[in-house]
Structure 1
Amino acid sequence: MTEPRRATPDDIDQLIRIRGAVRENRLRDPASVTREDYDWFVSRNLVWLAEVDGQIAGFAAGDPRDGTIWALFVDPDFEGAGLGKRLLVKVCEDMKAAGHAMLRLSTDPGTRAARLYAGLGWEAQGLQPDGEMGFLLRL
């Protein structure tokens, strides 16, 4: 893997593909994340990409408006290679630079993602009303 890079508008179709291909933490309503959402995050240089042999293998983004992790997705063909962890580091750096001392995210309980976050020091906050597990990270 090369060093993560910022996404460009030309990458958005691949981001959408990857988000739709994940095996866990699938969006209950795919229409809840629109092309305009991707445009907003990409236009503000908030999306980090991981590439393997020139192919986009994963991406992550944080939302500086509220200190949440908006996305962390790895193409199933590249799971287990540490890409998510490397991308999450970049997003946490962005959120700290944006002035956040605490970050939040949610994911389906019992998933690889939930285990990743717990293993990286994120504190489980219990189930949310939508059934997802909330996590908190103090920077």
Structure 2
Amino acid sequence: MLRKALLTDIMALKAVRSSVVENTLNDVSKVTDADYEWYVTNPGVALWEENGTVVGFSAADPRDGNVWALFVAPGFEGRGIGSVLLGEACACLKEAGLGRAWLTTDPDTRAERFYRAAGWEHIGENDNELLFERSL
């Protein structure tokens, strides 16, 4: 079930993020509680919940068009959850009046293949990450 995240969901969001083994940003000093709080209370975080458990979430930054987060817990991939959550992030950016979205991901990952299949354009690299962009 898709819904907006609440501040009380932050621990569950952190658990989903850290469960994705390809995620290289598991260093808690780089993604703080304050980051989560800002995204939950400002543009909003979309999450996917099954049987009371958060199994995925997305967040976008309407200030610059960045899809800040898209994570689906292991065992829940390949069911369309990521596509729904990515759509929610892009809708947030479009509602903010933006015409393009961008994101970064590590090379040679499932995430890279997912974004390419979803029509995102690889436009360069940034700090050893791939930079993708697409029209909204």
Same fold by TM-score greater than 0.5: yes
Q: Tell me the TM-score range normalised by the shorter chain.
A: over 0.9
Q: Name which of 35, 43, 46 aligns with 2:44.
A: 46
Question: CA shift at 1:28, angstroms?
Answer: 6.1
Alignment-derived partner of residue 137 in structure 1: 134
Q: Is contact 1:7–1:45 with CA below 8 Å preserved after alignment?
A: no
In angstroms, what is the RMSD of aligned CA positions?
1.2
Alignment-derived partner of residue 65 in structure 2: 67
Deviation track 1:75-97 (CA, whole Å, cap 9, x = no partner) reads 11312222111100011111000
Separation in 2, partners of 1:72, 1:39: 16
Aligned residue for 2:75, secondary structure, equals helix
Question: CA shift at 1:40, angstroms?
Answer: 0.7
Structure 1 segments (4+ residues) deviating >6 Å: none
Taking the TM superposition and a 5 Å limit, the aligned residue runs for 1:1-139 are 2=1, 4-27=2-25, 29-128=27-126, 130-139=127-136
Aligned residue for 1:93, secondary structure, equals helix
Deviation track 1:89-122 (CA, whole Å, cap 9, x = no partner) reads 0111110000110111000011111111111110
Q: What TM-score comes out, normalization by structure 2 length?
A: 0.94
Tell me the amino acid that sits aligned with residue 79 of structure 2: A
Deviation track 1:29-50 (CA, whole Å, cap 9, x = no partner) reads 3311100010111112520001
Q: Is contact 1:106–1:133 with CA below 8 Å preserved after alignment?
A: yes
Q: Is contact 2:43–2:60 with CA below 8 Å preserved after alignment?
A: no
The percent of aligned pairs where both chains have the same amino acid is: 46
Deviation track 1:15-72 (CA, whole Å, cap 9, x = no partner) reads 0111111111321633111000101111125200011222110000000110000100
- Unmatched segments (≥5 aa) in structure 1: none
Question: CA shift at 1:125, angstroms?
Answer: 1.2
Tell me the amino acid that sits aligned with residue 33 of structure 1: V
- Unmatched segments (≥5 aa) in structure 2: none
Q: What TM-score comes out, normalization by structure 1 length?
A: 0.92
Count of residue pairs the alignment pairs up: 136
